[in-house]
Structure formats: structure tokens, C-alpha cells
Amino acid sequence: MTETLQAKALTFRPLYLQVKESLVRRLINGSWQPGQLIPSEMELARELGVSQGTVRKALDTMTAENLLIRRQGRGTFVAEPEEGRLLFQFFRLVQDNGGRSFPSSRILRSGPEKANRQEMETLGLVRDATVWRIERIRMFGKEPLLVETITLPAARFPGFDTIEEIPNNVYRLYSQRWGITIGAASEKLKATGADLRDARHLGCRPGMPLLHISRVAFDLEQNPVELRVSRCLTEKTHYRSELR
């Protein structure tokens, strides 16, 4: 770290941010795997040639971003994509009765396609780029909850078409198979009426009000890597948003 000391007053970057980036790089390039115990503050401080306090500040900001989990007396661990509570970090649909179970999935279609205009724009693709497009229904027990379309840039997910069975938890798959960690997402919500396809899949009448959620998910480097459009029944379920 000492050799990267900045020129004074120009392009000042705090040391702890440089440390943080160096550590995030280890997450990105996979040298630190999800669930793994990382070295202690003292070890990292020695290794990087900075004080323990500076390492701590870097680790604290990463913890605040849900990249790490710190446990007093045990150590600092790489957060697992969608484990435990984190499972619900990106899943905001809650049953009205308070239950927060996780819906199962049934794949409708899956395969390579040409990106449409919306996909090109949100995922930053060139014209006619290939994407993997997955359509599935998600349900609580036997009750259909939503139908969704997931779009992935084929270039970032090579060999996706060779996956034998697409799991319910795809973020975990992205991490395990391609080392892609979803760090943030941005959702746009609208109310819309069910079209004929929605109605068929969800077992409702056409025109039924649906919650339309379009999500762009970003990797640790802030690149958009997934577009997901969900159309959701909200008779027994709602979307929960906490404003802080």
C-alpha cells in the first residue's frame, strides 16, 4: 500500500478506501470464497502495511454493504449470496400473514435469444447481442405468485445453456459457477393489468391488477448483470419497502 501513496492534494483517496478496493478485488477474483474466514485485522494490517484501525474501517464499510459478516470472538467471513437473512435482501415479497417463506420455481422456457431494446439499454449490450432468457413461475405451495423473465448477457455467463437444472436461488448459482456476486439492485414498480399469458400462468382473469417489478442487478463492480421482470399477484402477498 505504501508504494501507492498519492500525490498531495490531487486525486486524494483515503487509505482505507484503497484498502477496501484491494480487499473487494479478492472477492471479485475469487481468491476469497463465500463463507470463507478471512485473515484477522492484525494479519491484514501487517500484510498491507497499514494500521489495524485503517483495516477496520475498510472492513466496516464492507460489512455495511453486506459483503462481509463479522462475528466477535470468531472472525470475519465472506457473506454468502442469499444465505439466512441475506436471502431476503433481494426478495421483498412478504405474505400478508407475516410468513416469509421462499417460493418454489417452475421453469417455463430457457434458452439463447437476441437482446431486445430494453435489455440492450439496461444491460449495456451491443445490438443483437446474445442473452440467456429464462421464464419461470414462482409459487407458494400450489398457489402461483408471479411469473418472471430473467435476462442474462451470454458473454458474462458462458455455458449457461449447459446447466442441467436451474436452481431456485439463481444468485447463488451466479456466484458458484461464474464468481459473479450480486451486490446491489434497483427496482422499478408499477401496477398493471394481467395479459392473457399472465392470466394463463397465474390462474387469474385477464386485466387482474398485478405488481410489475423490473429489477436490474449489479455485480461488485457496479456492472449491470441481470435484468428481471416479475409480474406478481398481490392478493395474499405484498412488497415490503423499508425507508430509513
Partner DNA sequence: CAGTGGTCTAGACCACGCC
Partner DNA sequence: GCGTGGTCTAGACCACTGG
Contacts to a second copy by CB under 8 A: 65-66, 89-90, 92, 94, 184-193, 207, 209-212, 215, 232, 234, 238-244
When asked if residue 72 is in the footprint of DNA (CB under 7 A), the reply is yes
- Residue 199 binding: pick among DNA, a second copy, none (C-beta 5-8 Å cut-off by kind): none
Cell reading at 234: 398481490
CA distance readout (Å), 67 to 15, 33, 87, 104, 219: 19, 11, 13, 26, 11
Determine if 64 is a binding residue for DNA (CB under 7 A): no
- Decide: is 84 part of the binding site for DNA (CB under 7 A): no
Asked if 171 is part of the footprint of DNA (rule: CB under 7 A), the reply reads: no
Judged by beta carbon, residue 50 or residue 154, the one nearer a second copy is 50
Decide which of DNA, a second copy, none touches 238; Cβ closer than 5 to 8 Å per partner kind: a second copy
| DSSP for 35-102, written as a single string | TPEEPPHHHHHHHHTS-HHHHHHHHHHHHHTTSEEEETTTEEEEPPTT-GGGGGTS--EEETTS----
Half-sphere exposure of 144 (CA within 13 A, CB side): 19
Q: How far is the CB of 188 from a second copy (least distance, A)?
A: 4
Tell me how crowded residue 131 is: count the other CB atoms within 10 A of its CB.
Answer: 25
Q: How far is CA 3 from CA 6, 47, 49, 196, 222, in A?
A: 9, 13, 10, 63, 27
Partner from a second copy, DNA, none contacting 203, C-beta within 5 to 8 A by type:
none
Contact 183, 158 (CB under 8 A): no
User: Could you say whether residue 51 binds DNA (CB under 7 A)?
Assistant: yes
Q: Which does 66 bind (CB under 5 to 8 A by kind): a second copy, DNA, none?
A: a second copy
Of 15 and 233, nearer to DNA (C-beta) is 15
Taking the complex as a whole, the smallest distance from the CB of residue 218 to a second copy amounts, in Å, to: 10
Q: Which does 177 bind (CB under 5 to 8 A by kind): DNA, a second copy, none?
A: none
Q: Does 172 bind DNA (CB under 7 A)?
A: no
Identify any residues that bridge with 198 across adjacent strands, giving them in sequence order: none
Which residues lie near DNA (CB under 7 A)? 8-9, 12, 14-17, 38, 40-43, 50-54, 56-57, 59-60, 70-76
